[in-house]
Chain A
Amino acid sequence: MRNTLYRSSAIALMTAMLAAGPVWAEKTLTIGMTAADIPRTSGQPDQGFEGNRFTGIPMYDALTHWDLSSETEPSGIVPGLATAWAVNPDDTTKWTFTLREGVTFHDGSPFNAEAVVWNVQKVMDEAAPHFAPDQVGATKSRMPTLVSARAIDDLTVELTTTQPDSFLPLNMTMLLMASPTHWQSLYDAVDAAVTDPKERAAAAWSAFAFDPSGTGPFEGDLFVPRERFEMVKNENYWDPARTPTIDRVVLVPLPDSNARTAALLSGQVDWIEAPAPDAIPRIQAEGNVIYSNPQPHVWPWQLSFHEGSPWLDKRVRHAANLCVNREELQVLLGGYMGIPKGSVEPGHPWWGNPSFDIRYDPDAARALMTEAGFSTDNPVKVKVQTSASGSGQMQPVTMNEYVQQSLADCFFDVELDVLEWNTVFTNWRKGAADESARGAHAINVSFATMDPFFAMVRFVSTETFPPVSNNWGLFGNDEFDALIADARTSFADADRDAALARLHTRIVEEAPFVWIAHDVGPRAMSSKVGNVTQPKNWFIDIAPMTIEE
């Protein structure tokens, strides 16, 4: 009788436990972003690279990925959803990508060549039913030569470019693969009263943003516009090394740096981007950890080669590069600045071997200026357009005032023209000869150097003069066009890198910039967050991170 009672009790207890399910505390990582809104969640994020960092690569994969596993080496590309790629030797405008087998989207549908074609069409083909105009801007300029895709078989896809372009595999890191099947189901569910196909497509994309489906290590779970976005781990992720141990990631937009700092110090979030610099000692004193690493980023003065510009004299350009005391500026910024030697750094595959050494040497700078005909009594007048704030601009006014003061020692009389960020950003595309330049001889807009087009080509090609692209200073000649063409048509990785190194060498030697700083992307994390690798990259991989309960 007693045994029966025990047995019945044990069975009842086990049944109750099974019914209740396993009981554990969910491991949640909460991140305070600098963005004022949740970046787009439907596959091609906005809000710059912060968008890709938090709602892009955690939820979606691309054909190629940045290798984010090293803190010391520059990030290269590694296979993502494509396991191999090669250019067609007979027609170098065509590339073949071999796709990874057995990958499924979060909704369970298979990833295949048709899905790649669909994702190319979403931003390239206006006639496609799922064409998404609001995703075009953030995507198309990142892959300027891509025009179309064609499925060869289930796991092979051919991409076509407008001209031979060895940069394509690098560019493809930015095309994130969304699920066509899931989108179609949302399209079919749009209210029948909406009959215009474009409106139905827009409504489907809007629904997709709330219920996204990619192939990444995290899946979208809860979206409260402008307030929070929650992702949960994808336990079936195809890469075991990147299958998350964190159960849930919560993204909170906190545009004000003091608010972010307060949120971290009060324990509301575990990680903040770009903490207020003067709060860093306090953040560290509370046991939090600051991570930083020079990013592929340049904070320069881009110089004008328009008629009458003082920068037409190479001695003046070199003198300015030699007269900025970057070590002192680094101290001014609390140490959170990288000291540049060019657009990329020594050790980078594209570095080369420039004969001009960017350093602080005011005596050499003054000698060059004297040779160019300038002196204390006859300083060269330069006007620089900059912004009061802005994405990637670090602390523009403080830094420009420092540079202004520094250059005064070398016979430069610098006038700063400080404008609102979006206005400067717009002017950047109009060029030094446009009236929007207001007579400026240089413009201060920082830029990313992740891929060769963004890092170099757009600033030194005669094909990228305004308003086509960002060669604001109108710098370029046949030599540089030939170097660019050589790089674009060197399809073996080593050959391409060697050609880019030759291009970078000449850029540094000709100095169309005054290279002033690299951002180091400081972020603060609670000591509970573990297995953090801060790469030399704008992105960071959340998937392998851990968090203590």
Chain B
Amino acid sequence: MNKWVYVHFPHLLLDYQLALQPPELTDAPQILVTSQQGQRLVHQATAAALQQGVRLQMAEVLASTLVTHLQIRDYHQQQEQRVLQQLAQLVYQDVAQLVLVPPQGLLCEVASLVRLHGGYPNLISYLQQRLQQWPLRYQLSCGYSPLSARLLAQAQQGVINENPAVIQQALAELPITACGFTPSQQQRLQEVGMQRLGQLMQVPRAELGRRFGKALVLYMAELQGELPSPQHYYQPPLSFQQYLDLLTEIPSWPQLLFPLKRLLQQAEAFLQGHQQSTRMLLIKAHHRHGQPTQVRVAFAHPVWQQQDLLQLSQLHLERQQLVQPVLGLTVVIQQTEPRVASNQALLTETKQSETNIDSLVSLLQARLGTDKVHRITLHQHWLPEQRGQLQAWQRAQAVQAAGQHSSLRVKRPLWLLPEPQPIQVQDWDLHWGPEHLATGWWLSEPVQRDYFIGVDKNQRQAWLFKDQQGWYLHGWFS
């Protein structure tokens, strides 16, 4: 007979986010909210928030009135999905028959593990140890069917005992509202006086079927483990590519180390699970706009431990500067090889040919730093000197697309001086103007200039402007 353990993480996403925050912030009351029919409701809450009276499904407005300085963020199901995936990778190290039950649960078939560990208590404490690697709140329960384990864990009534009678007893106590019924099923059951699952268990199945349909009969059978319940067991990914959302924009690499550590820890778990090592990591820092900044970290020796991965990445990143703040991080393991083969590679350089320009640029960037490789782009900007710009490679590619919209039919000098040069206007003949440029008021450096086209004594045509400080030469027409 199969045996099941279900682990329920009621605040999965929020707890995960907390794990990424510096410890001094994690005591703050925080909640994640969802929108349901136009109403914003509390979906997950930190212990501090719960302690101050916040309840799940409470209106956001009420929660924020209840708790001053409550941090409120939106709940994102997709993010939570990713976290669950990552969690699965962790647990997979111990449990081969693992099922993802989104959004917040993991189901384990443990019959053989119970034998291996010599009984439930040992197995459970082993699992608990593993789960402690992540500071998540969870509820764990055994069950004689997947459904029984799940209901008990989700209702926070976990049973750690393999005696079916004990499990049965705990199930009987569950209120109807905690049994995963649809709202209409639940309502109808309550309308005939069914308050606890135990009452329902006493009703002959045929009578249930007559009144509540086949679905309920199947449910009861599933609950009691009378039906084979085929499961989609978790298959670990063959490659490692893991994305992590940051809660706030982070401006520099040193501050990214903490979240990076987490990712590398998962990378280690992956490599360990597959008994592999790697020679190359790709670290992508995602920005609010434009392409992510990419950093390739090549290792002289194949490595697999978080410690090594981190150390070398850190060295590599020290040279880099971030062009804009980062919203998310991705780590990709690019070249893996079986553990045994690791000592054979003695060459310090990878053999792969670097013919295409991207690889070349990546290499240059790795050597010189991301900011050292540039290209010229045109883009929208209120400052003329900012319209044509040398830009760091990745950013340039992003901005290029946006810049193409601007119709630059207007007369602009081909040669723009890097810095406007003060001039004596009486040395010039003004031929055309002015063009008023007055914008950017919302920034720290608003611009207010009157541009003219003028000719100097040598009949050279130039672009001049006047601002509050005086007259300047800004560029030459050909």
Physical interaction between A and B: no
